[in-house]
């Protein structure tokens, strides 16, 4: 399985961009966020599974995925700031999506603080699984729902329906979706490395 | 502050001095893309180095 993940990683790279200019960031910046949502969804799934089966490995998987999600979220924020500086003219704007994602990052930071505050394994696993469910729902609200209800600089928000409003033509899609899949593979792969390390440490 | 960070990124591809935002806006803003890729690479590499360190720590304990 590990090999298939690595092959998934290798095949996506040659498919990356040969199109226009700054829109190429679609493949990098946007796929960071897609991957982050995928990581958090995996973390959420494992948290639920821990609560029903009480298997500590599920808890370890859940943290590792959330950690990778945080890595992708910070990369998404930093690349977004870079892109925003030269498109919108400022590193940070009061765009609902920007503030929503910043709040999401803070919510997940609190998740790690909460985990580190507890010593008892079972208790830590249960409480952080419950918090994880809360954090995931808040993430959906803050980056998935609220920005769509107000005006935003991001495409697909404030009335315009999702993806078609970009110039996301078929050539872009052809690169974008494999890129997202590839990043999700890389993310789950590194998360599984992190999980194995955690298991050895436990 | 803004200018200094921007010019730092502008300096990477050219090695020239005192070129502020202009390079970032030139050539259809392609340097923005380069900066974004650089950030992602540095971020992931940094995370992997961190992972490497904790693996090493575990190896030394044995």
User: pLDDT of A128-142, one tens digit each?
Assistant: 999 999 999 988 888
Cβ contacts of B43 on chain A, cutoff 8 Å: 71, 74-75, 78
- The domain total for chain A is 1
For residue A165, the 8-state DSSP code is: G
Q: Which two tokens stand for residue A7?
A: 């092959």
Q: Beta-carbon neighbour count of residue A88 at 10 Å?
A: 12
Nearest chain A alpha carbon to B40: A75
- How crowded is residue A36: how many other Cβ atoms within 10 Å of its Cβ? 29
Three-state SS string over B1-62 comes to: CHHHHHHHHHHHHHCCCCCCCHHHHCHHHHHHHHHHHHHHHHHHHHHHHHHHHHHHHHHHHC
Closest-CA distance of chain B to residue A175, Å: 15
Give the pLDDT of residue B21: 53
Asked whether residue A141 is assigned to any structural domain, the reply reads yes
**The most confident of A143-147, A152-156, B34-38, B54-58, by mean pLDDT:** B54-58
pTM confidence score: 0.75
Q: B55 and A197: CB-CB below 8 Å?
A: yes
Pairwise pLDDT comparison (A151 vs A112), residue with the higher score: A112
Distance between CA atoms of residues A151 and A130, nearest Å? 33
Q: Which residue has the higher pLDDT, A51 or B5?
A: A51
Measured CA to CA, the distance from residue A16 to residue A55 in angstroms comes to 39
- Tell me which residue of A195, A182, A62, A178 sits closest to A131, measured CA to CA: A62
A155-159, A192-196, B25-29, B57-61: the lowest-pLDDT one: A155-159
Q: Can you tell me the distance from the alpha carbon of A156 to that of A161, in angstroms, rounded to the nearest whole number? A: 5
On whether the CB atoms of residues A5 and A185 are closer than 8 A, the answer is yes
Reported as a single tens digit per residue, the pLDDT across A85-121 is 777 777 887 777 888 888 899 999 999 999 888 888 8
Residue A1 lies in a domain: no
Domain range enclosing A172: 26-201
The shortest CB-CB distance from A22 to any of B32, B47, B55 is to B32
**Residue in chain B nearest A78 by alpha carbon:** B39
A9: contact with B, CB 8 A cutoff: no
Query: Tell me, what's the pLDDT at B28?
Result: 58
CA distance B60 to B62: 5
Q: What is the ipTM of this complex?
A: 0.71
pLDDT tens per residue, range A35-54 = 899 999 999 999 999 888 88
- Give me the pLDDT at residue A18, please: 40
DSSP structure string for A74-85 = HHHHHHHHHHHH
- Is residue A57 one of the residues assigned to a domain? yes
pLDDT at A44: 92
pLDDT tens-digit map of A68-78: 999 999 999 88
Among B25, B43, B54, beta carbon nearest to A75 = B43
Q: Where are the alpha helices (DSSP H) in chain A?
A: 2-12, 25, 31-53, 56-87, 96-116, 121-139, 146-149, 170-201
Q: CA-CA distance, B33 to A172, in Å (whole number)? A: 15
Could you tell me the two tokens for B25?
Answer: 């806006």
- Distance CA(A48)–CA(A62), nearest Å, equals 9
For residue B40, give Cα distances in angstroms to A75, A104, A113, A120, A168: 6, 20, 25, 36, 22
Average pLDDT over residues B24-37: 70
Measured in angstroms, the CA of A7 and the nearest CA of chain B are apart by 18
């Amino acid at each position: 399985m590990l090999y298939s993940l690595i092959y998934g990683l290798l095949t996506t790279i040659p498919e990356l961009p040969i199109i226009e200019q700054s829109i190429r960031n679609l493949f990098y910046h946007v796929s960071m966020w897609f991957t982050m949502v995928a990581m958090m969804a995996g973390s959420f799934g494992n948290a639920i599974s821990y609560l029903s089966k009480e298997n500590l490995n599920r808890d370890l998987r859940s943290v590792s995925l959330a950690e990778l999600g945080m890595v992708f979220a910070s990369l998404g924020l930093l690349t977004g700031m870079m892109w925003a500086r030269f498109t919108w003219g400022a590193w940070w704007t009061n765009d609902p999506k920007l503030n929503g994602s910043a709040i999401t990052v803070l919510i997940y930071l609190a998740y790690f603080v909460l985990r580190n505050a507890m010593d008892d394994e079972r208790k830590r696993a249960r409480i952080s699984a419950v918090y994880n469910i809360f954090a995931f729902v808040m993430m959906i609200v803050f980056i998935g729902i609220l920005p769509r209800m107000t005006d935003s600089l991001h495409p697909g928000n404030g009335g315009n329906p999702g993806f078609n409003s970009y110039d996301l033509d078929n050539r872009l899609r052809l690169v974008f979706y494999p890129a997202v899949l590839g990043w999700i593979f890389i993310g789950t792969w590194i998360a599984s490395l992190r999980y194995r390390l955690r298991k050895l440490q436990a | 502050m803004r200018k200094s960070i921007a010019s730092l990124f502008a300096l990477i591809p050219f090695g020239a001095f005192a070129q502020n935002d202009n390079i970032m806006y030139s050539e259809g803003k392609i340097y923005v893309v380069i900066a974004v890729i650089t950030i992602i690479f540095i971020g992931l590499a940094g995370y992997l180095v961190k992972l490497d360190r904790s693996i090493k720590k575990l190896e030394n304990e044995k």
